[in-house]
Structure 1
C-alpha cells in the first residue's frame, strides 16, 4: 500500500455510483437546453418590463436569480464532459474551481433570492398600501448586492484551493473535480465535514424563514377571503396561493433532499464513521440523485416568476395572444389568398372555354 503525500494511505477506495455516468450526461444536456432557453426568455421579458418602467423590487430579485441560473447553465457542458469521461476531469484546475464555484453560487444565490422573494410577497400581502405606494428599488439593489457579496465570499475557499484530486484507479490516473477526498489527512477530512454541516445549518435557517413567510402569506390570504369578494379578488388570491405552493415545492424538491443527505453522505465518503460498505454506497447513490434534483432548480425558477408578479404573467399572456392572433391572421390571409386565386383561376378557365367555343368551326 502506497502512502499519499499528506501521510494517509493511498489504497482507500473512491466511493462511486456507476449509474451517474449514463444518467447525468443525458439529464444535464436536457437541463442545459431547457434552462438556457427558459432563463434567456425570462431575462428578455424582465428586460422588456424594465424598458416599460415596470421594474420594481421583486423584479430586481428575479433578474438576479435568472443571472445565477444562467451561470450554472453555462457551466453544464464541462460537467457533461466530466461525467461522459466517467469522472475524469480533462480540463485545467482553474476551470474545475470555476465550474464548481458556479454550482455553489447558483445553489445558494437561488436559495437566498427565493427567500427574499417570499419575504417580499409576505410584505406585499400584509402591507398592501405600503407595497402599492412605493417600489423600493433601492432596497432591492442593496439586498441583491449583499446576497452576491455573501455568496461570492463563501466561494473564495473553493476558488483559491486546488479543486482536482489525482488517483491511480485500475491502473490509470483519474483526475477528480471536487471529489475524491478519501486519501486526505484526518484534519482535512474533519474540516471538510464541518464545512458541510455549517452549510446545512445555514440552509435550515433560511428554509425555516421561507416556511414561516409562506405560511403567514397563506394564513393572511385565508383571513382576507371574505373581504376579497368578486371574481378579481378570487383570481388574485388563487395566484398568490399558487406562488406560495410553487416556492415551497421548489425548496422541497430541489434543495431539501440534498441538504438532508449531505451530512451523512459527507461522513460516509470521508470515512469518518464505522458504517458498513452497503450503507455508505446507498448514501452515495442517494446523494447523486439529490444533485440531479438541485439541477431542476434553474428550470423551475421561471415558473416562480409567473406566480410572483402579475405584470410578468400579463406580458407572457399578451405575447402568446399576439402569436396566436398572428397565426390566425396568417391562416385567414392564406385562406383568402387561396380563395382569390381559385376565383381568378375559374375566371381564366371560363375565358379559355369561351374562346374555345368562339374558335370552334361553325357548321
Structure 2
C-alpha cells in the first residue's frame, strides 16, 4: 500500500528529465550562441550608455534600465545551456533553479515595463500631441525607474517561496491550498505581464498608424520614426514573448487534463519558444537606435571601423535628403528633425 501511494505521488511529480535529448542538445547550442552574441553586444551597449552616450544627460534613463534587464538575462544563459546539455530542463540544484527563474521573471518584467512605457510615450507624443504627457516626465526620473524595479519584486518573489519540480508544480504537485495559491499566482503573473502589455502595445500601434495616415507629408517623417519605435516593440513582443505565453497555456491544459503523451511534445515546444524569448536581449538595441539617433551615432563612432563608418555616413546623408524639382531646378530639402527620446 505504501509503495502504491509513493508511486502515485511520484507519477504526479515532474522530475524535468527531457524526453528527447536531441531537441535539448540543439536548444543548448542555441542558448550558447545567444550568450556568445549577447554578452559582447550588451557589454558594448552598456559601455556606450555610460561612457559615451551619458544616458543621464540625454534623458534616456529608461533605455538604460532595459540594458540592465537584458544583461541580467544574458548572465543566466550559461546555466540554462548547461542544464539542457545534461538532459535536464532545469538545474538539479533547487536553489539554482529558483534563482534562475527569479532572474528570468525579473528580467522579463523589467524589459516589458520599460518597453511599454517607451511605447506609451511615443503614443502620447503622436496621438495626443500638445497635451501634457505625464509619461515623458516619469521616464526621465531615475527615482521612477527604481520604483518600477521595487514593484517587480512582489511579482517575482513567489518563485522563491517553496520547492517545486521544474520550478513549476501547477497540476503536478500534490495540491494543498498553499501550493495551489502560490502556483496559481505565479501563472497569473506570467500571463498578465505578457498579455496585458501586448494589448496596450497593439492599441498604441494601431492608433499611431492611423494618426500617421492623417498627417501631411511634411509631418510624416517625424511621425514615421515614432511609429518605428512602437512597431519594433510590438514585433519584439510578437516574436519573443507572445508565442511562449500561448505554448504555456496549451501546456497547462495538457497537464491538467492528464494527457501525458501530448504534454511531452508540448513541453519541448514550450522550452523551444522560451529559448526564442531570450532573443529579446539581441533585438532591444534596435529599439535604442529608433528611440534616439544619438545612441546610434555614439555606437558607430566608438565601435564601427573608420572605413565602414564613412560609408554608413555617406549612405545616411543620401537617404535623409529629399530632392524635389521646382521651376526647372532641383532643391535639396533636409528631412524633419528626428524624434528624440
TMscore range, shorter length: 0.7 to 0.9
- Deviation (angstroms), 1:73: 0.8
SS at match of 1:162: coil
Specify every segment of 5 or more residues in structure 1 that has no aligned partner in the other structure, as ranges: 166-176, 329-363
Residue 25 in structure 1 maps to residue 25 in structure 2: no
SS at match of 1:113: helix
Distance 1:239 1:89 in 2: 41
- Deviation (angstroms), 1:210: 1.4
With structure 2 as the length reference, what TM-score do the two structures score?
Answer: 0.76
The 5 Å alignment of 1:284-303 reads 284-303=267-286
With structure 1 as the length reference, what TM-score do the two structures score?
Answer: 0.72
- Select the structure of larger CA radius of gyration: 1
Residue 41 in structure 1 maps to residue 40 in structure 2: no
Q: Which residue of 1 aligns with 2:67?
A: 66
Count of equivalent residues: 303
What's the C-alpha RMSD, in Å, of the aligned pairs?
3.3
The 5 Å alignment of 1:182-331 reads 184-187=173-176, 188=179, 191-193=182-184, 195-228=186-219, 234=221, 236-269=222-255, 272-275=256-259, 277-319=260-302, 323-324=306-307
8 Å CA contact retained: 2:126, 2:223: no
8 Å CA contact retained: 1:193, 1:266: no
8 Å CA contact retained: 1:24, 1:83: yes
- Deviation (angstroms), 1:194: 5.3
Q: 1:77 to 1:202 in 2, by over 3 A?
A: closer
Distance 2:55 2:10 in 1: 61
SS at match of 1:10: helix
- Deviation (angstroms), 1:213: 1.7
Distance 2:56 2:106 in 1: 29
- Deviation (angstroms), 1:319: 4.2
The 5 Å alignment of 1:69-148 reads 69-87=70-88, 92-126=93-127, 136=137, 140-148=141-149
Moved more, 70-79 or 117-126: 117-126
Q: 1:101 to 1:266 in 2, by over 3 A?
A: same
8 Å CA contact retained: 1:17, 1:284: no
Specify every segment of 5 or more residues in structure 2 that has no aligned partner in the other structure, as ranges: 312-341
- Deviation (angstroms), 1:32: 0.7
